[in-house]
Amino acid sequence: MSHTEGRIGVPVFLETGQVFDELTHRRAEEIVGRYPVARSALLPLLHLVQSVEGCVSQPGIDFCAEQLDLTAAEVSAVATFYTMYKRRPCGEHLVSVCTNTLCAALGGDAIYSTLSAHLGVGHEETTGEPAEAGAPGTITLEHAECLAACDLAPVLQVDYEYFDEQTPDSALDLVLALQAGGSPTPTRGPALRNFRTAELEIAGIFPDADERVAGPSLAEPTVRGVRDAERTGQHAPPGDDVPIPPLPEK
Amino acid sequence: MTQVATPPAGTPEQEPPGPPPGHVRLTIDGVQVDAPKGELVIRAAERIGTAIPRFCDHPLLDPVGACRQCLVEVEMGGRKMPKPQAACTQTVADGMVVNTQLSSPVAEQAQRSNLEFLLLNHPLDCPICDKGGECPLQNQTLANGPSASRLRDPKRVFTKPIPVSTQILLDRERCVLCQRCTRFSAQIAGDRFIDLLERGSAQQIGINRTEPFQSYFSGNTIQICPVGALTSAAYRFRARPFDLVSTPTTCEHCASGCSLRTDSRAGGITRRLAADDPQVNEEWNCDKGRFAFTYLRQGDRLTQPLVRNADGMLRPASWTDAMAAAARGLLQARDAGGVGVLPGGRVSVTDAYAYAKFARVALRSNDIDFRVRDTPVLDNGAEEAGFLARRVVGRGPGRGGVTHQELEHAPAVLLVGFEPEDESPIVFLRLRKAVRSRGLAVFAVGALATRGLEKLDGTLLPATPGTEPAVLAGLTREGTADTGLGEAAAAARNRLGAALRSAGAVLLVGERAAAVPGLLTAVETLADATGARIGWVPRRAGDRGALEVGAFPTLLPGGRPVTDAAARAEVEAAWGVPVPETPGRDTGGILAAVRDGDLSGLVIGGVDPADLPDPGAALTAVTAASFVVSLEIRASAVTELADVVLPVAAAPEKPGAFMNWEGRMRPFAAVLPEVGRLDEGRVLDTLGVEMDVDLYTQTPAAAAGELGRLGGWPAERTAAAIDPAGPVRSGPPESHGLTPHDKVLTSWRPLLDGGRMTDGEPALAGTARPEVVRLSAASAQALGVVDGAPVTVRGPGGGLTLPVAVTEPMRTDAVWLPARVGGRPLSAWIGTSAGHAVRVMAGAGIGREAR
Amino acid sequence: MADTAVGATAVDGAGAPLTPVLTRRWAAPESWTLASYRELGGYRALPKALGVEPARVTELVKASGLRGRGGAGFPTGMKWSFLPPFDPAAPTPRYLVINADEGEPGTCKDIPMMMADPHSLIEGAIITSYAINAPFCAIYVRGEALHCLRRLAGAVREATAAGYLGRDILGSGYDLEIVVHAGAGAYICGEETALLDSLEGRRGQPRLKPPFPAVAGLYASPTVVNNVETICSVPPIVLHGADWYRSMGTEKSPGSKIYSLSGHVTRPGQYEAPMGTTLRQLLDSAGGMRDGIPLKFFTPGGSSTPIFTAEHLDVPLSFDDVAAAGSMLGTTALMCFNETVSVPWAVWKWLEFYKHESCGKCTPCREGTGWLVQILHRIVTGDGTAEDLDTLTSAAANIAGRSFCALGDAAATPVLSSFKWFRQEYEDLVTGVTPPLVGDRALGAGTVGTGTSTVGAHR
Ligand SMILES: Cc1cc2nc3c(=O)[nH]c(=O)nc-3n(C[C@H](O)[C@H](O)[C@H](O)COP(=O)(O)O)c2cc1C
Ligand code: SF4
Ligand code: FES
C-alpha cells in the first residue's frame, strides 16, 4: 500500500438513480422482521442493496435509511465501516486473494500480483467498462485479510466461495475461466453464480437453498485429524450418558 | 466535596469518620477524597484541583473513553491494575488509589505518548487555525508534548476544509476523533446528521452529501470541539482569541434567556458562545442565539433621529428637536383622544418598565400591550389576560414558577400550543435530556407530530386545530366510550391523565395557546384538577419581563391589577402621580381604536407589522394615527409611517436584563457601550421630561432600583383580583363552514425563517429547514401526491405552493405551513393565518383538491 | 534459540493423542444434514438438558471447567452465571450471541466446524439459550463465510421443522428463535462488544466495559457471548458429564481442543487433541515441517499472541502453560513458519492487517498501527535506520496497554515479541547486512519457500 497517496476525499456514494423494486422491498421487510429490534437488519439490508446494485449506492443508503428510520448519515457511517460494502459496482465476480502473512508466505502475494498483472487492475478495481458494471466476465480484484482457511493456504475466494491451496498458475486458470464465462467449481461451496447472488445469500435470502446447501465442503486438511484418529484407532475417552447432577446445596 | 487531609498517624479515635452516605472514599495523588458513588475519577480529581488532560470527555456527554489522553494509574485493594485506566470512564470506588500524571510516571508517560500519537498526522497549522490560543491540544502540546516529531514518513492528508452545512466547516486533518460533535448531535440535539465515517486511520467525521448538518444546535459542536476541526463560516479567520474582549450577555432571541459570552473587537461583535449556566442553558445554545447578531450592523440601521417635516418627508434632526417634536405631538394626541403604546416583545426589563410608566404617567392611559404575534388575541384578550394574571405574573424560581431544572425532573410534561424546538430551543434540549436520562414522558396536544416531538420520544394527542380544549377536558375522564378516540389515543390520554397527577408534572403552554378560544381556560381547569403546574413560554426575550413590569393593559408593575385600588395606590405612592383605573386595550384593541379614530396617537417600539395577524390592517392603523413616535433600531414599515423616529440601542449596545420564561432575571452587560446608542428607558425618560413628567428611567440601574423598591405583589392577590374567565367560545373557529376540501391551518414560526433578527447571516439562513406543507398520509393520498410533490394551499387572500412533506401521525383535517414563507408572513400570501380554514390542492395552482 | 529449529525429521515422540469430540462427524457423508447428525448421536443432549431446570445446566458447564475457545479462555459456566438472576415475574429478555466472526490470522477452526457440523452448533445454542433463559439467539457469522451461512441457515430450518427450535421445543414449553446473521468484513467485530454494536446495526466499535454484556449486552439486555467452538463443546458435556470432560486436558484447561496447524507443515490441518498437547506432538502427527526446513517461529494462537520459537515446541498448549511461557493460547492457531521467512517481513504484513482492521475509535491504535506500518515498511524496503528500531519498539510499547480494546495490544504484540527473539534480523536490515526484502531493490522478491531468507511481495 502506498503511503504517499493523495488527499483523502469525502466519502461519496454513487448516484445510480436506482429504484428498488417490489421484490426487494418485500425481502427487506422479511429481513427486518427477523430481529427483535429493527436496526439490527442494517447490515443484511446493505448486503441486500449490494445484491441489486453490486455496491452500496446513494439510493441504497436512502433505501436502508427509509426502511429503518435512520438518517442517511447513520447509514453511511455503517456502510463505510465494513470492508464488504463496496463503493463502486463490483464486476460479475469478486476475486479476493488472501495476502495476510501466512498465505502470503506460501504464495498468496505471488497469486495476487499474478492476477493483478493479468487483469490490469489493482485492489478493489474492476475490469471492463464502468458503464457495464457487473457485465459477464468482468472481475473485481481485491486482496483480502485472513480468510480463516490457513490450513488450506494459499487461498482465495470468488464471490465468497473458497478456492483452496492455490498457486499463481491455478489462480490464473481460474480467472481465465471466469473471464470466459465458465463456472469453475469451488473447493468448498456450491457452483459459482456471481457477486450479486452471493450478496443476496449473505443477506440471508436463499432462493434455492437445498441445492446450494449441499455444495461440497470437505477438504482433506480439514479432516486430517479426524481421519488420522480413525486410521490409528484413537478416540476421546468413551463417555456414558451421565445424568445432570442436581444443584449443589447452598 | 469533602477534602480530608490524611491525618497524622494516631489513635483510631482520630480517624476521620467514614464517607457520607452515598459516597466512597478514595485517594488521588495522596489526597483523600470523598466522592459520590458513580462519579468518574476525572471529576473527582477536578474537585481537588487536578486537571487530568482530556479530549473526548465532556461532562454533559456520555463517556466514551476514545481519545485515551486521560490515562491514570489505579490501584484497588492494594493491587495496581495492570494497565493505566481512562479517568473519564473509571468510576470511583472505596479504597481506590489513583495516581495521575502528577504522581505517576506511568500516567505521565502514557499521556505524553498519546499526545505524540495525536500529533503524528496533525497538520500543526496553529498559526492559521481559529482555535489557536484557546485549543486544548495546543495547550497540552506546549505543556507536555514532544518538541519534535519522530514521524519520518508522509502525513495522512485530507481534502480540507469541507462544509458540513452552510454554517459549519470541517477540517479533518485537525480532528482528533474525540466524537464530541457526533455525540452532541446524537445525544443532546438528536440530530444524527453528522457521524463517523470510514474505519481505522481513514476514520473521519462527516455527513451524507444529501443531508447536510442542518441542526438548530450545530454551533455547539464548534464550541466543544477541542481542536480547530470545526469552524463556522461566520467566524472563520476573523480574529484571534487574545484580541477579543469578552462580555457576559444574555441572548435576545427567545424567552429562555441563555447565558452567552459575546466576544467583540473594534466596536463589532465577532462571535457569541454559550456560557455555562446550569440553571438555564447548561453549556449549550441554539444557532440563532450563536450566529444571529449581524442584524445590528445592517445598512438600514437608524443612526439619528428623524422628524417628518411640513412636506411630509422624514428628515434627520437633532435629538433636541426630535424630542421636542415628539413631546408636542404626543401631548396633542393624548389630549385629542389618547395614545396607545406598543413596546413589542424585545424590550429589556427596564425598558419595558419605562414604557409601562410612560403610558401611565405621560400618556395617562393603560393602553399598553407588549403582545405582538401573528395569532390574534381573542375576546379582547380577556381569557389570556386572566390566565397571565392568575397563573404567570409574579411567579418565578422559588416563587411557584416552573424552571428548566424542574422540567428535567418532571414525571410528565404536556405541551400545549408550543413547539419547543422551534419556539424555545433550550427548553427542547432540557426536555430531551430528561427524556434520555430519566425517561420523561412528553405529550403534545396538536394536529401533528413534529420532528421535535419525535426526538422527545413524545406522544401526540391529536386535535384538529381549535378542538384542543376538548382534548384537555377529556384528560380528566377515563375510558374511550365518550370520545370517539382510537384505542391508542385513548390509552395515551389515560396514561397522561394519570401522569399529570403525579407530583411535579408540568403543562408547558406556548403563547399560541391564546389563539384558541377556551384553551387557556382548559389548561387552568386541567391544572386545578390534576395538580400539574403551568409554565408559560412566550416567544420573545422581552415578553415575560414586559408582563411583569406592567407593559400590559390590565396589570401594573409587579403584577398589580389595574382594577385593584390597593394595588394602584402602591404604584401611585411610588410614582407620586395618579394611575388611570380603567383597564387598557390590548394590541388588537389599540390598533382598532386608532383606525376607528378612538385613539389618536401611537408610541411603537420594536414592532414589525409583519408579526401581527393582519399586517395590512396594522399598517392602515398606523397610517390613520394622527401622531406616531417610533423607537427603533432599523428602518421598518413603521418608521416609514412615523412622525418622529428615535434610534435606540440594540441589546448588545446597552446593559440591562431580560426576564426569561421561568421568571428569572437574566442580566446582561453592554458589549458595545462605545457606540453610544441610547436605550429606550433613557429616550422615554427624556421624552417624559419634555412632556413635564419624570420617569426616573434615565439609566437601567435607576429604573431597576425603582422597580426593586416597588417590589412585587403577591401572585395570589393578583389572581384573586382577576375574575375567572367567563364562559368562552370553543371549537374550531370555522368548523361549521368546513367542506371536505377544507382543512384547518395550523402553523408556527420555525426557529430560522428569515426574520429580521437573523439578517446578514446567510450561512445561518442556509441551515433553515426547508419550507414545506405538511399533510397526513391519507390527505396526500387523497390528493394523489407523494412526498416532495408541489401542493397549493389557498386562502381568502391567495394561494401558496410548496412541496408536501407527508407527516404521520397527523390529523387529516389539518394542514401545516410555516408561519413565514420566503420571509413574508402567511397572511401576506393567503390572507389568513393559523386556526382558519384553507383549501389544499395538488400541484402548483389549480389541481385536485384534498379530502 | 531460534536457529536450533526443529524440522520434521527432528521431531520425535508419538505424535498428538487425537481425541475427536468436536470434529468427530466432520468426515461423515453429508455431515451437515440433520439425518447425519442424528445418526451420529446428535440432539441427544438437548432433551436431557430441557429435562432439568436451567441452572443445573449452567452448574454442569461450570463443573466441567470449560473455558472459552474464542481466545481469552474465560470460564464458560461462570460467564453464564454472571447474568442477573432470571425473574419470571418481570422477565427482561436475555440473549445468547454466538461469536462466529472468526478472523484472527491463523485461526481456521470455526468455519470448518460450521460447514461440516452446523447442527452441533445449533444444539449447543439451544442448550445454552435454555440455560440462560434466552428467547432469542443470534449467530454472528463472518460475512465472507458464505457457505457457513448457508449451512447454518439450513440447519436452523431443519431443526425448526423437527421441533428442536421455535415454540415449545420438544414439548418443554421453552421457545427459542435463532437468527443467522452475517457480518460485513471487519475483524474487530470478533471483539464481543464491537460484535454487539455491529449486530445492532452500528459501526463495529468496541463498547465501554462495564457494563459487561452479562449485564447490558445486546439491546442493553443481559447477554452471553460465546465462541462457536465453546458452544459446540456444550452438548458433549451435557451428554457425558463434567468428569468425562475433565478426563481430557489439564487441571485448569480441561477438555478437547481443535488445534489448527498451518504454514510450512507437511500435513497442515485441524487436529483435535486434549488441552495441553505440545506443538512437537502435533507436528509429529502432521508429518513434521515441510521439506525438512526447520521451524523458525510460530504463533500459539493467532497473530495476536506473542510468537514462539522452536524453543517452545514442548510448551503444553493450555491456557496457563502458554501464559507461563510468555505468550497466550489464543485460538490454538498454530501458524508455523520455517527458516525461509523473514521475521520483520512477517511482522510488517501482520501490522498491515492490524492497521486495516483497527476500528479507529481510540488514538493509540488508530494512529499507532499506521505509524508502525510506515516504519516497518521502510525497514523491509531497506530504508530503515537504527533509530527506527527504537521508535518502532517504543511506539509499539505505547500502544500496548493504552488502547481501548485488545486489538491495540494485539497489534503491538508481533513487534514486541519479534524483537524479543529476532531483533538481530531488524538490525541486519537497517545496517544493510540483509538486502531489502520488498520493493524495487529487493532481490528475488516474491520467491517463496526457497530456503533463502527472502519472502515478500508488493502489497
Ligand atoms: C480484536 C479481537 C478479535 C476477536 N475475534 C474473535 C473471533 O473472531 N471469534 C471469537 O470467538 N472471539 C473473538 N474475540 C474474543 C471475544 O471478544 C470474546 O472473548 C469471545 O467471543 C468470548 O467467547 P468465549 O468465552 O466462548 O471464548 C476477539 C477479541 C478481540 C479483542
Ligand atoms: S471534529 Fe472535533 S469534536 Fe468532532 S471528533 Fe473531531 S475533534 Fe472531536
Ligand atoms: S478524555 Fe478519557 S479517553 Fe478521552
Q: Taking 60 as the threshold, does the pLDDT of residue B6 lie above it?
A: no
Structural domain contains residue C12: no
* CATH number, domain B403-537: 3.40.228.10
Ligand 3 mutation pick, B62, B69, B111, max ligand atoms within 8 A of CB: B69
Which A residues in the span 215-234 are in contact with C, Cβ-Cβ below 8 Å? 215, 217-230, 232, 234
Helices and strands in chain B: count of H runs, count of E runs: 27, 38
Q: Taking 90 as the threshold, does the pLDDT of residue B844 lie above it?
A: no
Mean pLDDT of chain C: 93
Confidence of residue B493 (pLDDT cuts 50, 70, 90): confident
- Residue matched to cell numbers 460485513: C184
Residue nearest to atom 28 of ligand 1 (CA): C191
d(CA C371, CA B200) in angstroms, rounded, equals 12
Structural domain contains residue C11: no
Q: What is the number of the ligand closest to the CA of C196?
A: 1
Report the residue from A113, A206, A235 with minimal CB separation from C19.
A235
The phi, psi pair for C374, rounded to 5°, reads -60, -45
Fold assignment, B23-118: Ubiquitin-like (UB roll) (3.10.20)
Structural domain contains residue C4: no
Our CA angle for B564, B569, B572, nearest 5°, is 125
First to last CA, chain B: 64
DSSP letter string over B697-710? -SSHHHHHHHHHHH
d(CA C311, CA B609) in angstroms, rounded, equals 91
User: Per the structure block, which three cell numbers stand in for A82?
Assistant: 465494513
Q: Which of A55, A70, A150 to mutate to test the interface with C (most CBs of C within 10 A)?
A: A150
List, in order, residues 6 or more apart from B114 with CB less than 8 Å away. Answer: B67, B68, B69, B71, C363, C364, C398, C402
Instruction: Assess contact for B89 and B67: CB atoms under 8 A.
Output: no
How large is the average pLDDT for residues A110-116? Answer: 97
Q: Is B205 in the pocket of ligand 2 (CB under 6 A)?
A: yes
Residue C350 shares a structural domain with residue C318? no
Q: Taking 60 as the threshold, does the pLDDT of residue C54 lie above it?
A: yes
Residue C232 shares a structural domain with residue C283? no
- The burial class, CB within 10 Å (0-12 / 13-18 / 19+), for B620 is middle
Work out whether strand B195-197 and strand B245-250 pair parallel, antiparallel, or are unpaired.
unpaired
Residues of A with CB under 8 A from a CB of B: 3-4, 6-13, 58, 61-62, 70-77, 80-82
Our CA angle for B207, B202, A108, nearest 5°, is 135
Residue C357 shares a structural domain with residue C258? no
Q: Taking 50 as the threshold, does the pLDDT of residue B388 lie above it?
A: yes
Residue C133 shares a structural domain with residue C116? yes
Cβ of C270 and A37 within 8 Å? no
H helices of B511-563, in order, are: 519-530, 543-548
Which residues does chain C have within 8 Å of residue A1's beta carbon, measured at their own beta carbons?
Answer: 352, 373, 459
For domain B149-297, the question of CATH label 3.60.10.10 is answered with no
The phi, psi pair for B260, rounded to 5°, reads -130, 165
Confidence of residue B240 (pLDDT cuts 50, 70, 90): confident
Chains contacting chain C through 3 or more C-beta pairs under 8 A: A, B
pLDDT tens per residue across span A137-164: 999 999 999 999 999 999 999 999 999 9
Instruction: Assess contact for B496 and B459: CB atoms under 8 A.
Output: yes
How large is the average pLDDT for residues A187-195? Answer: 96
Ligand 1 proximal residues by C-beta, below 6 Å: C 68-72, 74, 76, 99, 101-104, 188, 190-192, 225-227, 230, 405-407, 410
Which residues does chain C have within 8 Å of residue A44's beta carbon, measured at their own beta carbons?
Answer: 181-182
State the pLDDT at residue C279: 98
Element (H, E) at B793: strand B790-795
- The burial class, CB within 10 Å (0-12 / 13-18 / 19+), for C447 is middle
**DSSP at A162:** E
Q: Which of C110, C345, C459 to mutate to test the interface with A (most CBs of A within 10 A)?
A: C459
Q: Which of C245, C260, C295 is the last residue of a domain?
A: C245
Report the residue from B156, B158, B194 with minimal CB separation from A73.
B194
Q: Is A64 annotated as a binding residue?
A: no
Which residues does chain C have within 8 Å of residue A159's beta carbon, measured at their own beta carbons?
Answer: 146
How many A from CA of C103 to the centre of ligand 1?
A: 9
Residue C101 shares a structural domain with residue C176? yes
Say how many residues make up chain A. Answer: 250
Fold assignment, B742-849: Barwin-like endoglucanases (2.40.40)
Structural domain contains residue C219: yes
Work out whether strand C223-227 and strand C308-309 pair parallel, antiparallel, or are unpaired.
unpaired
Q: Is the pTM of this model over 0.80?
A: yes
3-state helix/strand/coil string of B212-245: CCCCCCCHHHHHHCCCCCEEECCCCCCCCHHHCE
CA C366 to the chain's CA centroid: 23
Residue C233 shares a structural domain with residue C256? no
d(CA C298, CA C414) in angstroms, rounded, equals 11
Instruction: Assess contact for B256 and B660: CB atoms under 8 A.
Output: yes
Q: Taking 80 as the threshold, does the pLDDT of residue B845 lie above it?
A: no
State the pLDDT at residue B850: 56
Q: Coil, strand or helix: which one is C195?
A: helix
Domain residues of chain A, as ranges?
A: 1-88, 93-194
Cβ of B200 and C358 within 8 Å? yes
Confidence of residue B736 (pLDDT cuts 50, 70, 90): very low
State the pLDDT at residue B112: 96
Q: Is B67 in the pocket of ligand 3 (CB under 6 A)?
A: yes
pLDDT tens per residue across span B195-205: 999 999 999 99
Structural domain contains residue C1: no
Cβ of C370 and B84 within 8 Å? no
Mean pLDDT of chain B: 92
Element (H, E) at B452: helix B451-455
Question: What is the number of domains present in chain C?
Answer: 3
**DSSP at B415:** E
Q: Is B88 in the pocket of ligand 3 (CB under 6 A)?
A: yes
Q: Give the percent of chain C with pLDDT over 70.
A: 93
pLDDT tens per residue across span B142-185: 988 888 899 999 999 999 899 999 999 999 999 999 999 999 99
Residue C368, domain CATH? 1.20.1440.230
**β-sheet with C136-141: strand ranges across:** C177-182, C136-141, C95-100, C223-227
Confidence of residue B482 (pLDDT cuts 50, 70, 90): low
DSSP letter string over B277-310? BTTTTBT---HHHHHTTGGGGSTTB--S-EEE-T
Which residues does chain B have within 8 Å of residue A8's beta carbon, measured at their own beta carbons?
Answer: 156-159, 172, 202, 204
Cβ of A150 and C272 within 8 Å? no
Answer whether A78 touches C (CB < 8 Å). yes
How large is the average pLDDT for residues C105-124? Answer: 98
Report the residue from A3, A58, A81 with minimal CB separation from B199.
A81
Q: Is A90 annotated as a binding residue?
A: no
Q: Taking 60 as the threshold, does the pLDDT of residue B406 lie above it?
A: yes
How many A from CA of B204 to the centre of ligand 2?
A: 9
ipTM for the complex?
0.94
Residue C396 shares a structural domain with residue C365? yes
Q: Taking 80 as the threshold, does the pLDDT of residue B2 lie above it?
A: no
Element (H, E) at C297: strand C295-299
CB atoms within 10 A of CB B463: 25
How large is the average pLDDT for residues B289-298? Answer: 95
User: Per the structure block, which three cell numbers stand in for A61?
Assistant: 443508503
pLDDT tens per residue across span C210-252: 999 999 999 999 999 999 999 999 999 999 999 999 999 999 9
CA dist C286 to C5, C8, C280, C336, Å?
Answer: 17, 9, 10, 12
More confident residue, C457 or B478: B478
Answer whether B117 touches C (CB < 8 Å). yes
H helices of B514-625, in order, are: 519-530, 543-548, 565-575, 587-595, 615-624
Element (H, E) at C59: helix C54-64
d(CA B558, CA B389) in angstroms, rounded, equals 11
Which residues does chain B have within 8 Å of residue A72's beta carbon, measured at their own beta carbons?
Answer: 208, 210-211
Structural domain contains residue C294: yes
State the pLDDT at residue C447: 40
The architecture of the domain spanning A93-194 is 3-Layer(aba) Sandwich (3.40)
Range in A6-10, B772-776, C402-406 the model is least confident about: A6-10
Report the residue from B66, B82, B176 with minimal CB separation from C404.
B66
d(CA C445, CA C458) in angstroms, rounded, equals 8
List, in order, residues 6 or more apart from C324 with CB less than 8 Å away. Answer: none
User: How many alpha carbons lie under 13 Å from residue C322 in its C-beta half-sphere?
Assistant: 32
CA A95 to the chain's CA centroid: 9
User: Per the structure block, which three cell numbers stand in for A209?
Assistant: 437453498
Nearest alpha carbon to residue B288 among B134, B426, B403, B427:
B426
How large is the average pLDDT for residues B186-212? Answer: 97
Residues B695-733: b if buried by 16+ CB within 10 A, e if exposed: bbbbbbebbbebbeebebbebebbbebbeebeebebebb
List, in order, residues 6 or more apart from B500 with CB less than 8 Å away. Answer: B412, B414, B475, B507, B526, B530, B531, B532
- The burial class, CB within 10 Å (0-12 / 13-18 / 19+), for A172 is middle
Cβ of A189 and C349 within 8 Å? no
Which residues does chain B have within 8 Å of residue C361's beta carbon, measured at their own beta carbons?
Answer: 66, 177, 203
Beta bridge partners of C23: none
Answer whether B83 touches C (CB < 8 Å). yes
d(CA A158, CA A94) in angstroms, rounded, equals 6
DSSP letter string over B102-153? TT-HHHHHHHHHHHHHHHHT----GGG-TTTTS-HHHHHHHHHS-SS----S
How many A from CA of C361 to the centre of ligand 2?
A: 12
Domain residues of chain B, as ranges?
A: 23-118, 149-297, 306-379+543-722, 403-537, 742-849
Which residues does chain C have within 8 Å of residue A105's beta carbon, measured at their own beta carbons?
Answer: 263-264, 337, 341, 346, 448-449, 455
CATH class of A1-88: mainly alpha
Ligand 3 mutation pick, B46, B62, B72, B88, max ligand atoms within 8 A of CB: B88
Q: Which of C245, C273, C296 is the last residue of a domain?
A: C245
Confidence of residue B352 (pLDDT cuts 50, 70, 90): very high
CA dist B840 to B240, B776, B837, C353, Å?
Answer: 53, 12, 10, 60
- The burial class, CB within 10 Å (0-12 / 13-18 / 19+), for B781 is middle
Q: Which of C245, C269, C287 is the last residue of a domain?
A: C245
Domain that holds residue C75: 20-245
Confidence of residue C457 (pLDDT cuts 50, 70, 90): very low
Chains contacting chain A through 3 or more C-beta pairs under 8 A: B, C
d(CA C186, CA C172) in angstroms, rounded, equals 39
Which A residues in the span 160-219 are in contact with C, Cβ-Cβ below 8 Å? 160-162, 188-190, 198, 201-204, 206, 209-210, 212-215, 217-219
Residue C227, domain CATH? 3.40.50.11540
Fold assignment, B306-379+543-722: Rossmann fold (3.40.50)
Long-range contacts of B797-800 (CB under 8 A, 24+ apart): B797/B827, B797/B828, B797/B829, B797/B830, B797/B831, B797/B832, B798/B829, B798/B830, B798/B831, B799/B829, B799/B830, B799/B845, B800/B826, B800/B829, B800/B830
Range in B745-759, C127-141, C406-420 the model is least confident about: B745-759
CA dist B845 to A22, A38, B849, Å?
Answer: 33, 41, 11
pLDDT tens per residue across span B582-625: 999 999 999 999 999 999 999 999 999 888 888 889 999 999 99
Cβ of A150 and C333 within 8 Å? yes
pLDDT tens per residue across span A87-110: 999 999 999 999 999 999 999 999
Instruction: Assess contact for B358 and B695: CB atoms under 8 A.
Output: yes
d(CA B500, CA B523) in angstroms, rounded, equals 12
Atom of ligand 3 nearest to the CA of C362: 3
pLDDT tens per residue across span B112-143: 999 999 999 999 999 999 999 999 999 999 98
Instruction: Assess contact for B400 and B510: CB atoms under 8 A.
Output: no
**β-sheet with C333-338: strand ranges across:** C269-274, C256-263, C333-338, C295-299, C308-309
CB atoms within 10 A of CB A210: 10
Q: Which of B67, B152, B158, B180 to mutate to test the interface with C (most CBs of C within 10 A)?
A: B152
Question: Which residue type, as a one-letter code, is found at position B216?
Answer: Y
Beta bridge partners of B395: none
